[in-house]
Structure 1
Amino acid sequence: MSRASMSWRKKLIATALLCLLIPSAISMGLTGIYTNNMLMNNASTKSEQSLEVAELYVSNIINNMIHAFNSIQYDSEMISNLRLAWNSYKSKENKTDFFANKLVTEKLNELMYFSGKCYVTIFLPNGLYFSNYSVYPNDLSYMYQEPWLLSMSKQPTNMTSWIGVLDNNVPADADRYPHLITIAHSFKLYANAPNAIIVLSKPEAEFHEIFDKYASDQTMMLLDHKGTIQSQTDERLIGTTVPFSNSSDHENRVVWNDKEYISVNKPLSFAGLSMLSLTPYQVVTGSYGKFFNEIVIFQILSLILFSIVMYFILRYYIRPIIKLAKTAKSVEMGNLNIRSKVTGNDEIGYLGLSFDRMLDRIEEMIHEIQMEQARKRKAELELLQAQVNPHFLFNTLNSIRLQVIMKGEKEIGGVIGSLSTLLRMTINRNNEFLTLHEEIDIAQQYVKLMKFRHEEDVQLITNLASDTLLASIPRLTLQPLIENAYIHGLMQKQGKITISSWKKDHLLYISVQDNGVGIEQEKLASLTHMLSETSMRGENASTSMNGIGLKNVNERLSMIYGDEFTIHLISSKDMGLKITLSFPLSKYEEMKDDV
């Protein structure tokens, strides 16, 4: 026994739930992806806008620092004072000249007056340096040994370099401005002299004050070409390295200090610097996550409610189908008296009504079959009771024929022989098909009987192709046509009846023609129409000897050959009638195979 399968009702409910769940899941997924991308794009756009504004301020500070370099290098008075101080320093064996140094310091303060908080140091060759700030009690001579200063002294002149973040060594400002953003520029006092270096520093606070102006959920920082933080609101991070690339100009999702951020990078045009904005991913998606959870809960509750409602609705609509299924199962077990009694104006109601009507019709057909079988049994019994052995009749006729011949009545004996042959072919129903020459023999016997009966000279002329003599045709095909020609064509008078046969392609053609009175065209058309309708309706013809005629032949051959059988009538008044039959040669073989 096969295992029980899921019922149709459960399949329908499961399908409906799947049709709801799958689109809902896809919709939620696509909504989540789209919303997440939209939030990330909005956060990135906001960060880019903030970076663009901050970049203007940062670039302005750097440009002012570069402008300060130019103010010092290209001020003729400043250069003259520097040369004077340096020459005096060299002539006094590396001892400073107070007057010369004072001129340089005063001019330096004058040039830097409008540059804001700015620390400027000029390092001349041989250890002479100047600044616009007090370094007491420190000595800046150690700066000459800094790697970056040694490197710049050997580089080509007029080079500006990013030094980065340095500690503030000015005692008065160290607590307030602990970190300085520093750049340096090289120049020459004389063409062949060693490089002099201008070092200019700005408090790092001026940079991160720019970053403080933006939302607290956004972190900005200034990075050098190595990714080292140069300025950031959290001073503890200054000097540390950001591990992800700062070369791209688009948003990325990055992980930093065990937190996920949306990063947006904007390169600057100076020294490989860039500005980086970090927005916590949780901040961007936090409100979305809450919103998404609310949607999920709402959809789950809606799904549960819909499932309950759908269950009762489907149960209501499926109940008639289940009732029909139970009725069909009872019918399968043999109970034909049961009815579904399903009604309604919809398809299910129509199905139930049709099913009940079908059962009514089946019961009627069973009753009719039972009655038919009873009638058949009764007819078979009557036939058995009334049946006379055909051989007894034929033997009796032959005995009579011999007695008549022995008495010299050969003509009557021949007529009795023809009658015996015709009766034998009429009573014997074993052979449905005969060869054409056997059918011609029957026709000749029939003509002999007609001559004897009516004492009229009827000539039967045969014009048969030799390759058609063994062709099989339905039994008693020609006799009804000859009878029709004799009675209706020759008007039971003398005349000629011609039978012709030929083959063409796979068809056998047989024509029966008389030279009788013929048929008018209107009657011929009516007869042709009657034969066509009779062929399509398939009406049964009488099987009595006198009732067999043209209609009978048409019906029999139409039932046997179908559309492949044709009958063609040609006639005119006083010109006789020609009937031409055509049907396939192979039909007899097919029917023998079926038997």
Structure 2
Amino acid sequence: MTRFGQLNTLRNQIFLGFMFVMVIVLATVGFFMYGQVSVLLRNSAEKHIEQTAVQATGKLDVLIRQINTLTAQVATNASIQRLLAQEAEGKPISFAERQTIQQEVRKYEAYATGIRSIELYAGDYQKLLSVDDASLNNRVSDEWISRVDEGKGRLVWFGLDPRNSDIVIAIRNIRLIDHSFTKAGYIMVQIEKSYFQLTDEVDSSQAETRELMRLFDEAGRQISSDFSVNVNANKILDHGGEKVEVGGEDYIVIQKQAKATGWRLVILTPVDYTTEGISVLRTAIIVSGVVGSLLFLIFTFILSTMITRPILNLIKVMRGSRFGTLKPISVTSTTMEINELNNTYNQMVHSLNELIEVVYQKEIVQSRTELKALQAQINPHFLFNTLEAFYWALDEKGEEELAQIVVDMSGLFRYVINRTDDDEWVTIGDELDHAERYLKIMEMRMLDRLSWRIESDEACRSVPLPKLLIQPLVENAILHGVEQRVGPGTVMLIVRPSSRPGYTLVTVTDDGPGMDAAKISSIYHTMEKGSMRSSKGTGIGIANIERRLKLSYVDNTDGLEIRSEEGYGTSISFEIPNEPGEGKNT
């Protein structure tokens, strides 16, 4: 230990800190010159204004790219390309094929926001998504169509619709990829004006500077605005970089033009925002003289707080470790005693985290091994080839119902047997489709004894979860519920948002014989031991599902909840967070 380290104690720090603080106060007053700080304030205001403009323009570019990407996906859709190629070859598109195009377009509309409609037109300008005689040249001017043709597949933005001032129109050519990019039709997308509201991204900065924004198309028509007063558009469009008066207050006009659309974003910044810091500085200098005289009286309290803060941080981290959050604390103090405490604690955290990681990885390996063992029970190539042969044989004999069952069975096994590590996490929508295929197969096997229903909230279908969590619960409901009762039975699978914000609730219900409280308690006890399996010890058991939930979501789930009453069926449910976060194994 050096001599300096021995002298670097808390008592000596308080003594030296007293003199240091007083020197800092005197030096700060000397270097606080009015002119230099005022320049810094002006530069800071100008940078903030420029940042706001860049931020708003960036959001506009993102919104435009989203529409561009969506229309590009529609234009390159395989079904649309094939049918338009057929039309281009002189083979008229049938009504059923038009329905196919409409279904493909509606899929894209369902996942888009701010889009009122997407319209498709053939190369002769006739509309494809309706049975009326609407045509593109009757909908828009020939000048617009010429601009689209000159764009050669690029999305062309025309701004507000002359027929509806609440709609923004953009059009692009559809080029046939397999026919040397020959022009085959047009896509016209109609977008709500509200889609281009730019104030959400910069609310915090606008609250500080009282900035006003307005978006104009190429013709100078207003697309979006947050102006609280009426302002002549020509008044601000012709005064970029100059001052204008709006509502009795002077503003600086800043204009940004979007390259993709040619639209202009106008931002009005109050003039007094760039100078208001100067008056504040003047007041601060006066107040600092008064406050400086009081620093001598209160510096002891502040200094003691600075010295004890590392100790308080260490106590806070140690308290967090009681809840399983073991994180090292940064060693930033120069005090010998504090550093010794921090280093000792960090060594302990490092050792405990290594032990926890070893146990955690063992549990993950065991869970994955069980799933891999299940998937490896069937030879995939042999199974899929056999099922495909069954399908074609049944299809040739006109057994459409049985052929569809074979397709469902192939999809069922393909979903289960997929062995890629990237496929261990899927969406609730994937799990529901898998459960539906299983229920169709069981419905054929059990004939009139089984009826089922799947209800799901559309927003919940995109929530991620570990693979093969839902179908085993459905299988359990059939085996131990429907098959154990006399007469037909029903299985319901319901997915909806939980009453707890940010969570989704999955429930599987049957109307079987149910269970008494003792049986339910026994199941919970068996689940804790991890030995309970589904039917005859061959499936993914309830205990396996419980363990995978705990491993995947840690403390973000309560696991399986079983509700049952003799004679009234059984319900098994679980809640998972919409965003797994750290609970998800990657």
Q: TM-score with structure 2 length normalisation? A: 0.35
Q: TM-score with structure 1 length normalisation? A: 0.34
